[in-house]
Amino acid sequence: MDLIIEGIAKAIALIVTLDPEVLNITWLSLKVSGCATLISLFLGISFGTMLALADFPGKRLLVSIVNTGMGLPPVVVGLFVTIFLWRNGPLGFLEILYTPGAMILAQAIIATPIVTGITVASIQNLPANLKLQILALGASRGQMVWMLIKEARLPLLAGVMAGFGGVISEVGASIMVGGNIKGYSRVLTTATVMEAGRGNFDVAIALSLILLLLCFAINYLLTRIQQRERPR
Amino acid sequence: MNRFKKMWCAVVVVLTFIVGAASLAAAAPKALILATTTSTQDSGLLDVLIPAFEKQSGYFVKTIAVGSGQAMAMGKKGEADVLLVHSPDDEKKFMVEGFGVNRRLVMHNDFVIVGPPNDPAKLRGTKTSAEAVKKIAHSGSLFLSRGDNSGTHAKEKKLWKAAGINAEGQKWYQQTGLGMGETLNVAAEKKGYALTDRGTYLALIKRLRLEILVEGDPSLLNVYHVIEVNPVKWSKVNVAGAKAFADFMVSQKVQKIIGTFGVDKFGAPLFFPDAGKKPETLGL
């Protein structure tokens, strides 16, 4: 119990004194996971919408694969991204292993199936006649797709939260492709693992609390947008 | 279809931009990959040495702290430039196979056998490591092994072998597969014995209910070498950077820093500088 209180005290101290290292780590977490979420939104929403609207043989199989991908284990992604990005690996010429760029890549791979899956579900959940109505009013196919995405934006926000929540709390891939390098690729989760390993449980608890606060702040913001816009 | 195309264009542009920016960022400072053991990082020594090296040389060091086994595996694949490791038998094999060049002695400290204060296997006062591991085995007391091919794990396997005990698969022998600090935490929680380097133990001492029970046996020596990865096999290895780092580690200035590191915090140094010494003088 003492340890938890010490940890909370440490967290408050680190936040109040604006500890530069903790600030850096927090900012990098936000940047990396934010970028990864943005990329996954682009990919996931476009791919998910296509998947939801198109009819083709093997569609069910593909949707099942995407839904399985929603639970893609981060360590598996981390392992394969590492092997691909090795200097002497297939993508070694990029020279991005052990950089924040590699972490963004790995996290985007983790988040994209999550956003895709939720997009498929949200678009398919729209009234079936909506598509016909929009087309009947003279919209082009592109306009129709855009309107459907706009119509599904509230459930899509849930996708944003799930994707972001998935990657900012992820540690397996980040530590493998980022290397937990001090002041460069160290994020909240990898720092927590390291500090716990070093026996600095108070700092580890402090970092965890900061991570939780960050997640809460982002989700609170998104939820407010979602609830405000809820159709009455 | 217009919007769709626009969106895809945007995706492609964003991706190209990110990959481009990332590779630029990676290429800008001369990066050097140091593969090392968890003990050098967990003790805090590298937090002191790396910034000094970066400032002096202009290289940007990517420290990847893994076990010695994994560090050498990275070296074998040309995925690291320079190694700082403590697994002498495996290092010699690494050198014989031609994966490394210029293996140099950097420093040493020692391993100790730690355990719960009530000491169920009665190790306290035992002089040799062989006798100690025999006592653990015969009393069936819980022993926590790293189990991760690290230098510490290699040393531990050597101790079992020297004592003629086959520990693997025994009920009292558990492998954590974790780093040194984490393994000590597990040992403390489960009231088990463990082999650890003194540096990590001292760094964690305030939280651990574990005591040093066996120490001082010559077989418990823990020696660190710096090895430059052989560029003949892998053309992408940063040869100049690796040499600069290795030279830095054995330089007089750094050896002095190593010798005093930890004195202010623990009252005794965590590592003893050995650059230029003959291995025989250490009893190797």
Written as one string, the DSSP assignment of A63-98 is HHHHHHHTT--HHHHHHHHHHHHSTTSTTGGG--TT
Q: What is the mean pLDDT of chain A?
A: 91
Q: What pLDDT is recorded for position B240?
A: 92
A15-29, A37-51, A217-231, B87-101: the lowest-pLDDT one: A217-231
Distance from CA of A118 to the nearest CA of B (A): 19
Residue A88 in contact with partner chain B when CB distance is under 8 A = yes
Q: Does B7 contact A at CB distance below 8 Å?
A: yes
Please tell me the predicted confidence (pLDDT) of residue A8.
86
Residue B74: predicted pLDDT: 93
Taking only the tens place, the pLDDT of each residue in A183-210 is: 899 999 999 998 887 778 888 999 999 9
Topology adopted by domain B9-107+223-282? D-Maltodextrin-Binding Protein; domain 2 (3.40.190)
Cβ–Cβ below 8 Å for B181 and A88 = no
Put simply, whether A146 touches B (Cβ < 8 Å) is yes
The per-residue pLDDT for B22 is 56
Q: What is the pLDDT of residue B7?
A: 56
Search chain A and give the residue with CA nearest B204. A199
For residue A182, CA distances in Å to A18, B50, B203 come to: 18, 10, 19
Sign for the CA dihedral angle at B32, B35, B36, B40 comes to: positive
Nearest to A98 among B62, B206, B234 (CB): B62
Q: Is this structure's pTM higher than 0.90?
A: no
At residue B123, the pLDDT reads 93
The stretches in chain B having pLDDT less than 70 are 1-29, 283-284
Homologous superfamily of domain range B110-220: Periplasmic binding protein-like II (3.40.190.10)
Q: Which residues pair with B273 in a beta bridge?
A: B107
A32 touches B at CB < 8 Å: no
Nearest C-alpha in A relative to B42: A198
The letter for the amino acid at A102 is: A
DSSP B278: -
Helix, strand, coil fractions of chain A, as percent rounded to 5: 80, 0, 20
- Each domain of chain B, given as residue ranges in start order, spans 9-107+223-282, 110-220
Distance CA A113, CA A68 (A): 8
Q: Enumerate the residues of chain A whose CB falls inside 8 A of the CB of residue B236.
A: 87-88, 92
CB contact under 8 A, A101 and B4: no
**Count of other CB atoms within 10 angstroms of residue A54:** 9
Q: How far is A199 from chain B (nearest CA, A)?
A: 6
Yes or no, beta carbons of A146 and B11 under 8 Å apart: no
Which of B15, B60, B236 comes nearest A39 by C-beta? B15
pLDDT on residue B25 = 53
> Which of B3, B15, B38 is facing A142, going by the closest CB pair?
B3
Name which of B5, B9, B11 to mutate to probe chain A: the one with the most chain A Cβ atoms within 10 A of its Cβ: B11
* Strand residues in chain B grouped as ranges (E): 31-36, 60-65, 82-85, 100-115, 143-145, 173-175, 193-197, 211-214, 221-229, 272-273
For A96-142, give the DSSP string. Answer: -TTSHHHHHHHHHHHHHHHHHHHHHHHHHHS-HHHHHHHHHTT--HH
User: Average pLDDT for residues A77-82, to the nearest whole number?
Assistant: 96
Q: Exposed, middle or buried by CB within 10 Å (0-12, 13-18, 19+), for A150? A: exposed
* Cβ <8 Å between B22 and A104: yes
> Within 13 A of B141's CA, how many CA atoms are on the CB side?
20
State the amino acid at position A29 in one-letter form. S
Domains belonging to chain A, first-starting first, are 2-228 (1.10.3720.10)
- CA–CA distance, A229 with A207 (Å, rounded to integer): 33
CA-angle at A106, arms to A101 and A107, nearest 5°:
95
Q: In the numeric block, which tokens belong to residue A69?
A: 């991908």
Query: What confidence tens digit (pLDDT) does each residue in B179-199 have?
Result: 888 899 899 999 999 999 988
Chain B residues with CB under 8 Å of A95 CB are: 23, 26-27, 31
Partner A, chain B 210-239, Cβ-Cβ below 8 Å: 234, 236
Contacts of B78 by beta carbon, 8 Å cutoff, 6+ apart: A87, A88, B229, B233, B234, B236, B237
Domains B9-107+223-282 and B110-220 share a fold: yes
Any B CB within 8 A of A160 CB:
no
- Burial group, residue A227, by CB count within 10 angstroms (0-12, 13-18, 19+): exposed
Angle at A109 between CA A103 and CA A111, to 5 degrees: 100
